[in-house]
Structure 1
Amino acid sequence: MKNRRLFWRIVDKIESAIDAGEFTVGSRLPPERELAERFDVSRPTVREAIIALEVREKVEVKTGSGVYVIAGDQPNNAPQVNAFELTQARALVEGEIAALAAKTITAEEITQLEETLTLMKDMQNVEEADALFHQIIAYSTRNSALITLFEKMWTLRSSSEEIIKDYDIVCSTDNTKTLAEHTEIVHALASHDPAIARSAMHKHFNRLINVLFEKLEAQALDAVRRKNNANRNLYSIESLVSKR
């Protein structure tokens, strides 16, 4: 995925600057806007890079203060989370986020969501548009606890190599279904009906889980088929006769 590769390049550049001493331990990184200009990328791309750096324990994000470089020598004892667990957790949390957002979202934020739909429809920066879509909804709740939960889950979504690989399987499917679901969520939020917004978000994640299962099952079946074909060639009578 283009945008995912892009934010990892920004991670590498910031890490290099930290290792070179440009950003020392305890210092604050430049604002998101300045980093976006420096690396010639969008602010959401910088935001994803910062999340990945936080998971790598290179930086610490202090709400209302900024992003600070840390020593990064603390052991990482975080439990392993798979794509199914994460998607289920996202469905539960983002379902409630959507329900609350239906009450708090502004007309301006609805317009911002509609802009992400346009990007997805035109196949422009689809991954970035998807990330921005969910982020706008989370931030529209004005609830710091829910926003923190959302960001932690997106950290796993965008920095775990195993989850990235599994989500790439989902992202390779028909984009029109994701676009239709996002559109339904926007309409639900615009109606300011919490129950409808929650249901629309649950519907979106339920399909993602089903697609994930279907794709992984297909991969497993393909692996079995390849193994059986190899064994068939090994044990076939034709193979034995041809060796005489």
Structure 2
Amino acid sequence: MHHDAKPRRQYRQVADQILSLIATQGLAPGARLPSERDLAELLSVSRPSLREALIALEVEGRVDIRMGSGIYVGASLLPESGGIGLDSEGPLEILQARAIIESAIAEEAARHVTPALLQRLDDNLHEMGQALDDRGRAIVLDGQFHIAVAGGVGNGVLSNFTAEIYEKRLSPFFVQFSTRFEGPRTWRLALAEHGAIRDAIADGDAPAAREAMRHHLTESQRRFTESFLVEGTLGA
């Protein structure tokens, strides 16, 4: 039986357009590409898809993104071994999936709230508040918060799922993507959003917990798309 090939992800299609542009214009390694704004207009693509495409190509060594300078053709026009893979999940796709699923998990956690769960969340919030300038530690604590919420439901499958999908945040693609936009300011915002989730769960307010989690993960997506890669940076 014939099966249609799986459609390539949007960011990968955009990456192919960028590579085609490089080839068509005969650009050599080190040549400067149009700005992110101009590329988006030239290729008729959204900024989020363009941003994911550029960072995917950066991880593969095909482009070089220099903050405050521009986007340049990379040293290698072929993917290096150990790259992100031809069509792996993009960071924004992962965050969207988490917003849908973890919202339902938070809702259920509010229905099963216990003093032990609240203590775990409170301890996590306190530790994260002390780690806003330590990106590595903040990422670990961020994951532990979400896993703790899932653990509050008392369902091992949900706990394991939350841990596994969060691990995708540690992929080279997601790490490079988030490094470009995260900082103490974004971690402070995430901490406040975690606090709102905790409070809704503590109140046993299932709808509020659901919306607080959805808001948090939707805002995480927005923070990754609200500024340009090289024309400007997020405030620290």
Shorter-chain-normalised TM-score: which range?
0.5 to 0.7
Q: Distance in 1 between matches of 2:121 and 2:207?
A: 19
Matched residue, 1:32: none
Counterpart-to-counterpart distance in 1, 2:86 and 2:208: 35
Alpha carbons of structure 1 residues 93 and 78: separation in structure 2 relative to 1, 3 Å:
farther
Note if contact 2:143-2:163 (Cα within 8 Å) is conserved in structure 1.
no
Superposed CA deviations along residues 162-220 of structure 1, whole A, max 9, x for unmatched, are 011112234325122111111111000101111000000011111111110124xx115
How many percent of aligned residue pairs carry the same amino acid? 25
Secondary structure of the residue aligned to 1:81 is coil
In 2, are the aligned partners of 1:101 and 1:189 still within 8 Å (CA)? yes
Alignment partner of 1:151 is 2:159: no
* 1:162 alignment counterpart: 173
Q: How many angstroms apart in 1 are the aligned matches of 2:112 and 2:220?
A: 26
Question: What letter matches 1:219 in structure 2?
Answer: L
Counterpart for residue 211 of structure 1:
223
1:202 equivalent in structure 2:
214
Q: What is the 5 A alignment of 1:1-244?
A: 80-123=88-131, 125-158=137-170, 160-174=171-185, 175-215=187-227, 218-219=228-229, 221=231
Q: Secondary structure at the match of 2:180?
A: helix
Alpha-carbon distance between aligned partners in 2 of 1:178 and 1:202, rounded to the nearest angstrom: 12
How many residues end up aligned between the 2 structures? 144
Q: Which amino acid aligns with 2:223?
A: V
Whose relative contact order is higher, 1 or 2, with alpha carbons under 8 Å and at least 6 apart? 2
- What is the rounded CA distance, in whole Å, between the counterparts of 1:150 and 1:128 in structure 2? 13
User: C-alpha separation between the residues in 2 aligned to 1:194 and 1:169?
Assistant: 34
Distance (Å, rounded) in 2 between the aligned partners of 1:139 and 1:165: 29
Specify every segment of 5 or more residues in structure 2 that has no aligned partner in the other structure, as ranges. Answer: 1-84
Contact 1:170–1:208 at 8 Å: present in 2 too? no
Between Structure 1 and Structure 2, the one with more helix by share is 1
Distance in structure 1 (CA, Å) of the matches to 2:182 and 2:222: 13
Show structure 1 runs of 5+ residues with no match. 1-76, 223-244
Q: Which residue of 2 aligns with 1:240?
A: none
- Deviation track 1:26-67 (CA, whole Å, cap 9, x = no partner) reads xxxxxxxxxxxxxxxxxxxxxxxxxxxxxxxxxxxxxxxxxx
Q: Which amino acid aligns with 2:205?
A: D
- Give the TM-score taking structure 1 as reference length: 0.54
Q: Structure 2 counterpart of 1:145, which letter?
A: V
Aligned-pair Cα RMSD in Å: 2.2
**2:103 and 2:211 in contact (8 A); partners too:** yes
Tell me the distance in 2 between the aligned counterparts of 1:139 and 1:170: 29
Deviations for 1:106-143, whole angstroms, at most 9, x for unmatched residues? Answer: 11111111111111222273222211111101111112
> Is the partner of 1:171 in helix, strand or coil?
coil
Q: 1:116 to 1:170 in 2, by over 3 A?
A: farther
Q: Which has the larger radius of gyration?
A: 1
2:194 corresponds to which letter in structure 1? H
